[in-house]
């Protein structure tokens, strides 16, 4: 499929398995557990909890639950600010959302190309991206329902 060529690397945040495999750039260990910095881009840091609680508890911060991902964003003054903490299921949902957004962007670019100059190859790519987008949107609905119900994916 041509969809892969329309997406740039890192357009979709890495999965938990991939994050676990990345080297640890930094770690923070507390009584509650340990979070490890696994990836840093110019504007985002991705921390993975590798030791801590097995489920949410009022006795510890939520980002100390094993396999939860903590995301920090760089502020306009250069500081790092906690942006969000994702459960494994919510992280998977966010990946699907990233992918959906990238497909929408690719679809828009292909449609613009088709408007400028008709091509059966571009029309075929649009159809492929559209089918992929429909499947991704169905997955988004399913994952959203699972996250809302508190299920682990």
pLDDT tens-digit readout, 81-136 = 999 999 999 999 999 999 999 999 999 999 999 999 999 999 999 999 999 999 99
pLDDT digits (tens, 9 = 90+) for 46-79: 999 999 999 988 888 899 999 999 999 999 999 9
DSSP-based helix, strand, coil % in the chain, nearest 5: 45, 25, 30
Which residue is listed with tokens 């159809």?
Answer: 127
Does 124 share its domain with 95? yes
User: In the sheet where 44-51 sits, what is the strand order?
Assistant: 26-30, 33-40, 44-51, 69-74, 80-86
- The structural domain count of the chain equals 2
The reported pLDDT for the residue numbered 57 is: 87
Least confident stretch, 9-18, 50-59, 141-150: 9-18
CA 64 to chain centroid: 19
pLDDT digits (tens, 9 = 90+) for 73-84: 999 999 999 999
Does 83 share its domain with 113? no
What predicted TM-score, i.e. pTM, was given to this entire model? 0.80
* Mean per-residue pLDDT over the chain, rounded: 90
**pLDDT-based confidence at 11, cuts 50/70/90?**
confident
Length of the chain: 153
127: left (phi > 0), else alpha (psi -120 to 50), else beta?
Answer: alpha
The reported pLDDT for the residue numbered 112 is: 96
Residue 44 lies in a domain: yes
Does 82 share its domain with 103? no
Domain hosting 102: range is 90-148
Does 107 share its domain with 83? no
**pLDDT-based confidence at 5, cuts 50/70/90?**
very low
Gyration radius from the chain CA atoms: 19
The reported pLDDT for the residue numbered 16 is: 93
């Amino acid at each position: 499929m041509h969809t892969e060529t329309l997406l740039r690397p890192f357009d979709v945040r890495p999965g938990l398995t991939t994050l676990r495999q990345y080297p640890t750039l930094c770690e923070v260990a507390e009584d509650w557990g340990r979070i490890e910095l696994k990836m840093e881009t110019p504007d985002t840091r991705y921390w993975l909890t590798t030791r801590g609680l097995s489920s949410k508890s009022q006795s510890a911060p939520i980002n100390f639950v094993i396999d939860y991902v903590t995301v920090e964003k760089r502020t306009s003054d250069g500081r790092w600010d906690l942006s969000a903490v994702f459960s494994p299921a919510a992280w998977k949902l966010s990946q699907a959302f990233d992918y959906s957004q990238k497909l929408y962007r690719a679809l828009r670019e292909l449609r613009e190309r088709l408007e400028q100059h008709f091509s059966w190859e571009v029309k075929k790519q649009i159809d492929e991206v559209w089918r992929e987008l429909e499947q991704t949107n169905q997955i988004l609905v399913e994952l959203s329902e699972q996250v809302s119900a508190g299920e682990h994916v």
